Amino acid sequence: MERTLALIGFGEAGSTFAKAAGWEASAQAFDINPARHAAMEEAGVLSAATADSALSGAGLVLSLVTADAALPVARDVAPVLEPGTLFCDMNSVAPDTKRAAALAVEAAGARYVDVAVLAPVNPARLKVPLLVSGPAADDAAAALRAVGFTNVRVVGADVGRASAIKMIRSIMVKGVEALTAEMMLAATKADVVQEVLASLDASEKSESWFTRAAYNIERMTTHGLRRAAEMEESAKTLIGLGVEPLMTTGTVARQRSQAGHTIAFETPAKTTKEPAE
């Protein structure tokens, strides 16, 4: 197969995709960490000594670097991208960061694509949900499917839309993880883990987030001040146990600011289901 695929960054995502797809010599990869060359050899992909050489002849580029490197990498490689190349930025960064990267890539004559990866790459591998947006989203979706990805969905023609979905969704997903840690640290110190978890199990309701979001906002609008006062006492409880109430103090502020102020949003019928990351 003629080589048309390049990977910039060959960490967990790059190596997982390459092994699952069996790209081998049809793909060439570059990683700033020389130690990753062994992983490239294991996956069978060609190892490039520089980013420039990895990109030579590539019609599809997957940028899979760290979040802090996403924009610098896009700017650095833009001048060597061939005209029309699809540059798929699959990094978890803010919409503004992706729009800034798009300016550099498109100024060089290539086509920038905002790709959001909505779940861990393991164990999903090539079935991982990918949201794609940007002027070249349709072409990129077809190209991604052609190299083996099976769960690709176009969400719009604007760069930043896919990443907005990812980043805003992460507020809940990662926030719940942080709240869980704060709760469990306190429950462990207070020796009430069993009781706290059993109480949560007893009150847990299986509801769509379309319903749950509307309910949660209404509760804050109507009872935000009272709930803020209660959470201040929860913060004091944590402090007394020697646990810094990082998440809880934020809850106090949000409850108080939301009191009396509703959020107008549409709740359309649920049409898609994305796994949590």
- Block mean pLDDT (10 aa), the chain, length 277: 81 96 95 94 95 94 96 97 97 95 97 96 96 98 97 98 94 91 95 95 86 86 91 93 94 91 66 54
Residue ranges and CATH numbers for the domains of the chain are: 5-159 (3.40.50.720), 165-258 (1.10.1040)
Neighbours of 152 (CB within 10 A): 18
Q: Per DSSP, which regions of the chain are E strands?
A: 5-8, 27-30, 46-47, 60-63, 86-89, 111-117, 130-133, 152-156
* Complete edge-to-edge strand list for the sheet that includes strand 111-117: 46-47, 27-30, 5-8, 60-63, 86-89, 111-117, 130-133, 152-156
Q: Model pTM?
A: 0.85
256: exposed, middle or buried (Cβ count in 10 Å: 0-12, 13-18, 19+):
middle
Whether 88 contacts 144, CB under 8 Å: yes
pLDDT of residue 262: 81
Residue 155's closest CA among 173, 172, 130? 130
Query: Is 132 strand, coil or helix?
Result: strand
Of 62, 70, 120, 61, give the one whose Cα is nearest residue 92: 70
Q: Can you give the pLDDT at residue 204?
A: 83
**pLDDT value, residue 1:** 37
Sign of CA dihedral 13, 15, 17, 20: negative
Two tokens, residue 182: 């704060």
Closest of 75, 135, 141, 143 to residue 108, by C-alpha: 75
What is the predicted pLDDT for the residue at 268? 55
pLDDT of res. 110: 97
Contact yes or no for 245/182 (Cβ under 8 A): yes
d(C-alpha 115, C-alpha 9), whole Å: 15
